[in-house]
Amino acid sequence: QVPDVPSSSVTTNDVPLGTFEGLRRLTIFVTDADLVSSSGVLLAQVSGSVEADFSILGQALFHLVDATFEPSSGGPVITPQLDDGGLTIVGNALFLDGAVITPGDEIVVWARGVWSQPLTGYVVALNWDPTLLTCLEVSNIGTVGEDLSGPFSAFFSGINASAGTAFGSVLSVFDTIPVSLADELGYFRFLVSPDAPEGLTTSILFGPHETANATIENGFVDETASTITPETLGADFVVFSDPQAPTILSIDPTQGPVNGGTDVLFNGTSFTPDSTVFFGDQPANAVIFVDPGTLLATTPAASAGIVDVSVFTTYGSSILPQSFTYFQSVIDSYSPMEANVCGPVTMTALGSELPADLGVLFGGVASVVVQVNPEGTMATVRVPPSYVTGEVDLVFVDGFGSEISSFSGGFTYFDDGTFIRGDVSCDGLVNLADVSAIAAYVAGAGSVPVVLDAADIDDDGVV
């Protein structure tokens, strides 16, 4: 719409923008219009409806690529300054993902949601056909509901198996869940009836759960304790008795060290309890069947490089080509190689493919501060204090505790008598942590300071 201009004078052209999926180019031509000079006249207004696709929530940009004004005086065409705009698409919804189900199997249905404001609580309630499905468990485990974990929070749930309804709710006084475009809110575990007929489609819907005293409805609770009623989108589940070959949809993480030990989460379909997993041509060290859509496998040792990942069941196999990368972490050098028993000293280690969760052990004592640069080529390591002097083994490990490099007697502690009075933690600072440590030691509830004299704050010979 163009204000004060007849529709006969307005022509639009709305076409897809080349190969850019989801983008379109809208051109508006206005002729025979005579507008007076203005600093803020409305030239055009675009309106329409937004489909119920909650994946589009967020910022939507309107990019002005070209514009021209033709003066009524017949002067030269004017090219105005272009300032982009846009809109924010918001919404609140609960939805399910449909699936193929097999008679006699257990399935897990995740109730997911989108919301446009922080939440302090929510209620998810489902309805289904109790002759086909039996709800065994309702939980917030593995969902963002676990984030509402403060001391003043609560999780409630209930199941009415005969009526085919169940609910789960999380409420908190202080904690919040930030705005989200697709997070899991509820975990519902069902048993499919062994007598479920093949080809039947059954629906699981969002609906009320009746108790003896109340009707529990789906809803969100915001930071002001206001209740928001979300849109609800249920899903269809098709009964199919013929077992299907597995499908790997994704894995996480997609890389790990060559010595193995990385736990990899598999997302897919038709996994079975007897599933076997291979990384390249090597079987996984361990495979845990979580549900038909989830496996957890531990990588075996392998050479550096990229390998295929595959899952085998009695009913077939699936391969995710070139999907997991083995890397070799190497420590080339480190400095210094010695430190006072009560530093503080920072070591610099140089190498390649250093993991972000690198750990460093000095005679079995782990450094509490290890930082690795984004390139994985350098790490800064806080040398921990030591009760003993002399050589100790220096060991670099990954986040799973697997050894990267080991240097026998690779670090030396000495005691030159220097320390900072009051700094019993040997971190170079005197703060409340030191006061607490000293108080705990005096009370007989804490450990002996590495340098006992450091705990004698006023240097009177008494701690």
DSSP 89-105: E---EEE---EEE-TT-
User: Under DSSP, is residue 432 helix (H, G, I), strand (E, B) or coil?
Assistant: helix
Residues 135, 234 within the same domain: yes
User: Are residues 93 and 230 in contact, defined by beta-carbon separation less than 8 angstroms?
Assistant: yes
Residues 136, 232 within the same domain: yes
Residues 342, 308 within the same domain: no
Of residues 198 and 208, more confidence is placed in 208
In-domain check, residue 449: no
Query: The domain that contains 318 carries what CATH number?
Result: 2.60.40.10
Nearest CA to 99 among 294, 278, 293, 255? 293
Residue 54 confidence class, pLDDT cut points 50, 70, 90: low
Each residue's pLDDT tens digit, 236-260: 887 876 667 899 999 999 988 888 8
Last residue of a domain, one of 89, 106, 128: 89
Structure tokens at 173: 């006084």
Residues 47, 22 within the same domain: yes
User: Are residues 282 and 259 in contact, defined by beta-carbon separation less than 8 angstroms?
Assistant: no
Residues 33, 85 within the same domain: yes
Q: Which helix (H) or strand (E) holds 414?
A: strand 403-414
CB-based contacts of 174: which residues, under 8 Å, 6+ apart?
150, 152
pLDDT at position 167: 96
**CA–CA dist 386, 362 (Å, integer):** 9
CB-based contacts of 445: which residues, under 8 Å, 6+ apart?
none
**CA–CA dist 252, 323 (Å, integer):** 10
Residues 126, 29 within the same domain: no
Is the per-residue pLDDT at 29 higher than 60? yes
Nearest CA to 367 among 351, 390, 350, 346? 346
**CA–CA dist 257, 300 (Å, integer):** 10
Residues 46, 120 within the same domain: no
Nearest CA to 127 among 232, 52, 220? 232
Residues 322, 336 within the same domain: no
In-domain check, residue 147: yes
- State whether the Cα torsion 266-268-271-276 is positive or negative: negative
Mean pLDDT (the chain, rounded): 86
Last residue of a domain, one of 239, 266, 285: 239
Count the residues in the chain: 463
Q: Which residues of 39-63 are buried (b: 16+ CB within 10 A; e: fewer)?
A: eeeeeeeeeeeeeeebeebeeeeee
Residues 136, 231 within the same domain: yes
In-domain check, residue 75: yes
Each residue's pLDDT tens digit, 88-142: 777 899 999 888 888 889 999 999 998 989 999 999 999 999 999 999 999 988 8
Each residue's pLDDT tens digit, 146-196: 877 667 788 899 999 999 999 999 999 888 888 887 789 999 999 999 888
Query: Average pLDDT in the 351-376 region?
Result: 91
Q: Which helix (H) or strand (E) holds 434?
A: helix 432-442
User: What are the start-end ranges of the H helices in 241-397?
Assistant: none
In-domain check, residue 462: no
- 436 DSSP 8-state letter: H
In-domain check, residue 431: no
Residue 337 confidence class, pLDDT cut points 50, 70, 90: very high
In-domain check, residue 429: no
In-domain check, residue 265: yes
Q: Which residues of 282-318 are buried (b: 16+ CB within 10 A; e: fewer)?
A: eebbebeeeebbebebbbbebeeeebebbbbbeeeeb
Nearest CA to 33 among 71, 68, 66? 71
Residues 73, 18 within the same domain: yes
Nearest CA to 341 among 450, 453, 456? 450
Q: For residue 204, which amino acid is it?
A: I
Say what the pTM is: 0.43
User: Are residues 43 and 2 in contact, defined by beta-carbon separation less than 8 angstroms?
Assistant: yes
In-domain check, residue 119: yes
Residues 283, 401 within the same domain: no
Number of Cα atoms under 13 Å in the Cβ half of residue 322: 0
Residues 276, 162 within the same domain: no
Last residue of a domain, one of 263, 292, 327: 327
pLDDT at position 198: 73
- 177 DSSP 8-state letter: B
Q: Which domain holds residue 406?
A: 330-414
**CA–CA dist 248, 269 (Å, integer):** 7
**CA–CA dist 94, 185 (Å, integer):** 9
Query: The domain that contains 231 carries what CATH number?
Result: 2.60.40.680
Q: Give CA 405 to chain center in angstroms.
A: 31
Lowest-pLDDT range, 34-38, 158-162, 286-290, 370-374?
A: 34-38
Say how many domains are in the chain. 4
* Neighbour order of strands in the sheet with 294-298: 247-252, 263-269, 294-298, 286-291
**CA–CA dist 427, 383 (Å, integer):** 9
